[in-house]
Structure 1
Amino acid sequence: MPFEPGQVLTRRYLRGRWCTWAQPMRVIGDDDTGLLLWHPEGSDFARLLDADGNTQHQVTVDRMRDPKLTVHRWEGCDILVLMPPAAAHSVWWFFEQGDFAGWYVNLEEPCNRRPDGVNTNDHVLDIVATPQRTWEWKDAGEFDGRIGDPLYFDGAEAAAIRAEGDRAIKKIEAGEFPFDGTFTDFRPDPAWPALRLPDSAEFPLHRPA
């Protein structure tokens, strides 16, 4: 069943037995083009931090000391996120003070839908693109350093992840959907509030059942 416009769901990243990211998002649409979600500046998100303040960018999750999902406020921009059906990536539109500021391609597993949201697994490597469609890889060094780690990906899986990114780059350069100007003029309903995670929420360090 598709999600309903206006519904608030949780987008999660999972790795092994850990939930590493939880973000409340408002459904804009859910159709053949994908699940379209909105997350405004000032909303909550939760990320996995260890007792030393490290994220999984600094330390792999299995080496974190006493990791916990910690709630923060999203700052600097609003984001619109499209999760195309069965795709191993999502596309983000960044808006700064209401103006479109560029795209972000987050390479990730095709999502698993749940009644309360969607689960995926981040593939580390990303692509940043300007409104003029110039682009660059992001976190390539971290990605290369994770190849062969059993919690991440082997060489063949890494090659498939990079190939997924290459396909997205071709669309960026050609100005094909979703990089054709679609949604760059998106404006949220001014009555929509920032999104909150419950103060009492308990985030498991294992995959939700």
Structure 2
Amino acid sequence: MDLGTTLLRYRYPDGRLQAAFPIRLVESTPERLVGWLPVGSEIAYWATSDGADPRTVPLEARFRQALGTGRRTWSGGSVLRVIPYRERWQVLHFWDADGVFTGWYVNLESEKRVDQHGVVAVDWHLDLLIAPDFEVTWKDEDEAAAAVGTEYLREQDLAAARRTGERIAADPRRFIDSVGHWEDRRPSSEAGRALTLPTGWDTPDP
């Protein structure tokens, strides 16, 4: 059954748009949505004022400038996202070019808000990687440390991200069991078809 598409957007703490991802739904319930971000899809991603990727800017200067968003193309393979509305995380599932599952990426973020375009969250810059053998690695600790205290990451949000990540890392198998096992899922020909950003993707926060 075709559940259609939705839009996942991230906003900076002050409400400005940071990123936007079109998602093709495979599950939609009052508690969560699950869907594909197909390879080749048009996305918007955080950017410097001249449109560059902020990660090309040294850490000491990265968050000392005006950041916005810029159009990009999602590359590297299709990704399945599990997005619970009332949790402070979402889980991305990754496969390599041969279709071998390579692990889970836990994006630590705010609880979600639903608007007329889809789902909205604030990214907290700190993340976890969970390997197929359930080994856990913290990711982007240096970036979070550089961002905290600026307009892009509040201290209380980084503290919440750390607490959330520690709970997950304490028992990653149980955590993944609660998310559900999507490791054998592959996008159908329709689900894997690239998406474009819908009209209104850059609508200001009301």
* Alpha-carbon distance in structure 2 between the residues aligned to 1:157 and 1:120: 12
Query: 1:73 maps to which residue?
Result: 73
Query: 1:169 maps to which residue?
Result: 169
Query: 2:202 maps to which residue?
Result: 203
- Give the residue type in structure 2 aligned to 1:6: L
> How far off is 1:176 after superposition?
4.4
* Alpha-carbon distance in structure 1 between the residues aligned to 2:145 and 2:68: 26
Query: 1:89 maps to which residue?
Result: 89
> How far off is 1:195 after superposition?
0.8
* Alpha-carbon distance in structure 2 between the residues aligned to 1:196 and 1:10: 10
* Alpha-carbon distance in structure 1 between the residues aligned to 2:8 and 2:38: 14
- Give the residue type in structure 2 aligned to 1:92: L
Is there any run of 5+ residues in structure 1 with no aligned partner, and where? none
Structure 1 52/114 Cα, relative in aligned 2: closer, same or farther at 3 Å? closer
- Give the residue type in structure 2 aligned to 1:190: S
* Alpha-carbon distance in structure 1 between the residues aligned to 2:46 and 2:195: 19
Q: Secondary structure at the match of 1:63?
A: coil
Q: How does 1:1-209 map to 2 (within 5 A)?
A: 6-15=3-12, 16-31=14-29, 34-49=32-47, 50-51=49-50, 53-55=52-54, 58=57, 59-60=62-63, 63-64=65-66, 69-97=69-97, 98-154=99-155, 156-174=156-174, 176-178=176-178, 182-192=181-191, 193-197=193-197, 203-204=202-203, 206-207=204-205, 209=206
**Count, aligned residues:** 198
Larger mean Cα displacement after TM superposition, 74-83 or 29-38: 29-38
RMSD, aligned CA: 2.6
* Structure 1 runs of 4+ with >3 Å offset: 173-176
8 Å CA contact retained: 1:94, 1:102:
yes
* Alpha-carbon distance in structure 1 between the residues aligned to 2:175 and 2:144: 26
Is there any run of 5+ residues in structure 2 with no aligned partner, and where? none
- Give the residue type in structure 2 aligned to 1:24: P
* Alpha-carbon distance in structure 1 between the residues aligned to 2:51 and 2:93: 32
